[in-house]
Amino acid sequence: MLDGEFVLLGEDGAPFLDPYKSKAYLVQGKIWVNNHAHILLARNNKYVKYALNYVDYQRYVTGTTRLKLNQSALKRIIIPFPDENEQKRIVAKIEELFSEIDNAESAITTASGYYKSYEQSIIDSLFAKYEAEAEMVEFGDIAEIKGGITKGRKLRGMPIGETPYLRVANVQDGYLYLDEIKTINVTAEELRKYSLMNGDILFTEGGDKDKLGRGTIWHGEIELCIHQNHIFRARVDSGQFVPEYISYATKTTRARDYFLSKAKQTTNLASLNMTSLKNLQLPSIPLAQQKEIVESIVTKLSEIKSARKELIVAHHRSKALRQSILAKAFKGELV
């Protein structure tokens, strides 16, 4: 048991390679810390916290599916270290600017909540009748559902070159975020196996509890693109099922409650396995009715579609702005 102010830095499982997510946190008071975090104490803990959230961890972490920062690597990390007065000035300026961003993000979150509630009420109202009366079928019986490519795997065959792939960060709730696309070396067989096709329905394996099972539809936005193993893709027969209908059906309150009931959960995160996704019960209705539901949802949501796009852009800009502020701070350009 510790008592005081400390900086906690993830040892494993932290989002080390996501520049927009924090890896270091400031804690105060009596705390107990398990062996999955480093405990740091400095003269200016706030300065160290911000510096560690700016560090590029690419050269320091090891592992593939679960990245690890061991103590030896931690000790090799180099951060700018000006005199104490300069550290205080930098921290004060960062916190002044971050406070302004916090206020803006609070407004964005509130507005986004209104949109999500409106969208959820529309989807639930249109699906309620069919969930109660229609024949229910298992998702896995009407769709081919597969996981994606694993980073760090051993290649079996001759690689044909770097290929774009979707990560969890690219697949958001109802849209794709494609500003940053990474590539991976693949074989011809892997390209054939994991290539996305127009109309594929995408789902994330895990994430925040309220976004469990989030996803959207692939419309061929990038030529010859594949997906990572933390993303499931479902492919339906377009002659029997409208991809948009299936995607909306997986967003009902009933479906989300099912996902949560089957998920493996930690404090703030949850993950869903492929078996549970395949077992999800969906209402099977005629193709014409599927199209009517999709058209109705699209029409109702079009009224606030442009506003939602602006919220999405603002949200991503705020995350980028935080990193930009840290970059200037530790390059000596902020104060």
How many Å separate Cα 307 from the centre of its chain? 21
162/278 same-domain check = yes
172/68 same-domain check = no
- pLDDT at residue 65, rounded to an integer: 65
149/35 same-domain check = no
- pLDDT at residue 267, rounded to an integer: 64
pLDDT, mean of each 10-residue run, the chain (335 residues): 89 85 91 87 95 92 83 93 94 95 89 86 94 95 96 84 93 89 94 97 84 88 94 95 97 94 79 94 97 94 78 85 92 87
198/272 same-domain check = yes
144/271 same-domain check = yes
For the chain, how many structural domains are there in total?
Answer: 2
- Please, what's the b/e burial string for 45-74 (b: 16 or more CB within 10 A of its CB; e: otherwise)? bbbbbbbbbbbebeebbeeeeebbbeeeee
Residue 326 falls within a domain, yes or no?
no
- pLDDT at residue 2, rounded to an integer: 82
Q: Does residue 241 contact residue 247 with C-beta atoms inside 8 Å? A: no
SS3 call for 200:
coil
Mark which of 284, 303, 324 sits at the end of a domain: 284
Supply the range of the domain harboring residue 72. Answer: 2-79
Separation CA 335–CA 323 (nearest Å):
16
Mark which of 61, 79, 97 sits at the end of a domain: 79
Separation CA 196–CA 205 (nearest Å):
17
Residue 87 falls within a domain, yes or no?
no
- pLDDT at residue 156, rounded to an integer: 83
Mark which of 49, 64, 79 sits at the end of a domain: 79
- Residue 173 has phi, psi (to 5 degrees) of -80, 95
- pLDDT at residue 78, rounded to an integer: 92
